[in-house]
Amino acid sequence: MSSLPLWLALEPELSCTKLLLSHSSDGTLLKARLSATPAHPGALAMLLESLSAWQGMPLYAVLDADAEGVSKHPECWARLMGEAEQHPSIHVEWSSPAPAPLQRRNRELEEGFGRASQLLVRTFTGQR
């Protein structure tokens, strides 16, 4: 088991929520597009707990605070992320990608996940 955590970027849009799961030594582990919000109130917490348990590592979930879905429904995302953080191996942070001059492109990521990648880079490096 690695002592380094998993990192999950969540980018809620109005049509879907993009997920990008990464580990510093293994790179990208999972990319997904799910419905805009979970159908079950505890689904996000269950998903994050399951990813953490599957890999046997703590998970840091980074929510894109500037994403369209979050800005339209901040109370919903605050509740969902708060429920997820109740699990001892889940840590939640609200962040936003770096401004344009600081953005970095990861060529391995397919188009459409650039913002999620930037969110992880910004959170990993502590750039605010």
Condensed to tens digits (0 to 9), the pLDDT of residues 65-91 reads: 999 999 999 999 999 999 998 999 999
CB contact at 8 A, 115 and 98:
no
The angle that helices 74-84 and 43-55 make with each other, rounded to 10 degrees, is: 40
Condensed to tens digits (0 to 9), the pLDDT of residues 29-63 reads: 999 999 999 999 899 999 999 999 999 999 999 99
Residue 94 reports pLDDT greater than 80:
yes
pLDDT of residue 102: 44
CB contact at 8 A, 60 and 5:
yes
Distance between CA 33 and CA 90 in Å, rounded? 21
pLDDT of residue 114: 72
pTM for this predicted structure: 0.74
CB contact at 8 A, 77 and 70:
yes
Residue 96 pLDDT level (bands cut at 50, 70, 90): confident
Distance between CA 74 and CA 23 in Å, rounded? 27
Query: 6-125 has which CATH code?
Result: 3.30.420.140
Dihedral (CA of 84, 90, 91, 96) sign: negative
pLDDT of residue 48: 97
Instruction: Detail the DSSP E strand segments found in the chain.
Output: 6-12, 17-23, 27-34, 59-64, 90-95
Percent of residues, the chain, with pLDDT higher than 70: 83
Residue 2 pLDDT level (bands cut at 50, 70, 90): low
Distance between CA 103 and CA 45 in Å, rounded? 29
User: Average pLDDT over the chain, rounded to whole?
Assistant: 84
**Quick one: 38 exposed, middle or buried, by C-beta within 10 A (0-12, 13-18, 19+)?**
middle
